[in-house]
Amino acid sequence: MKLPIAIGATEAPARTKPSNYPEPFASRMKGRTKRPLGDLFGLSNFGANLTTLEPGAVSALQHRHTLQDEFVYVLEGKAVLVTGDIETVLGAGMCAGFKAGGASHHLENRSDVPVTYLEIGDRTKGDEVSYPADDLVGELGPQGWVFRHKDGSPY
């Protein structure tokens, strides 16, 4: 497949599978649209998405990675970043980074207009994700993400 040289980010196709989570968590990602950008150019070391949250939508469950770093930059609208118990409003031009092993976090759109941001995350193998508020753990295996209950049983 011939890779493009450049693209208007809003023209990138939305991800066909809206969430990798098992139910009931996948349904909680309603109103979130991710447009993978890095993948379009054949990048494999990190992902870069243009993500839009409709009013009421969230970026992900509150989570933290063991090995992968994450970074977000808000392009339009306002998101509430929830980091542990701390809430910070991110407007356009603001950014935040989430180092591996740091505090759990996610973004919420509590406004009445969409919020759009760029999100970057590397793809370090062997990564695990924990979700302090939900009965879920994730592990990046050779076939992709595998999710289980906290007691290790499958969904």
- Site residues (vs a second copy, CB under 8 A): 3, 5-10, 37-38, 40-46, 48, 68-69, 71, 73, 81, 83, 86, 88, 90, 93-100, 102, 118, 120, 122, 124
Q: Are residues 91 and 78 in contact, defined by beta-carbon separation less than 8 angstroms? A: yes
Whole-number minimum distance, CB 82 to a second copy, in Å? 10
Nearest residue to 74 (alpha-carbon basis) of 109, 101, 102: 109
Handedness of CA 66, 104, 140, 149 (dihedral sign): positive
- 2: exposed, middle or buried (Cβ count in 10 Å: 0-12, 13-18, 19+): exposed
- Measured from the CB atom, the residue of 73 and 147 that comes closer to a second copy is 73
- Measured from the CB atom, the residue of 14 and 95 that comes closer to a second copy is 95
- Measured from the CB atom, the residue of 19 and 111 that comes closer to a second copy is 111
Could you give the CA distance from residue 80 to residue 96 in angstroms, rounded to a whole number?
11
Whole-number minimum distance, CB 36 to a second copy, in Å? 11
Whole-number minimum distance, CB 149 to a second copy, in Å? 29
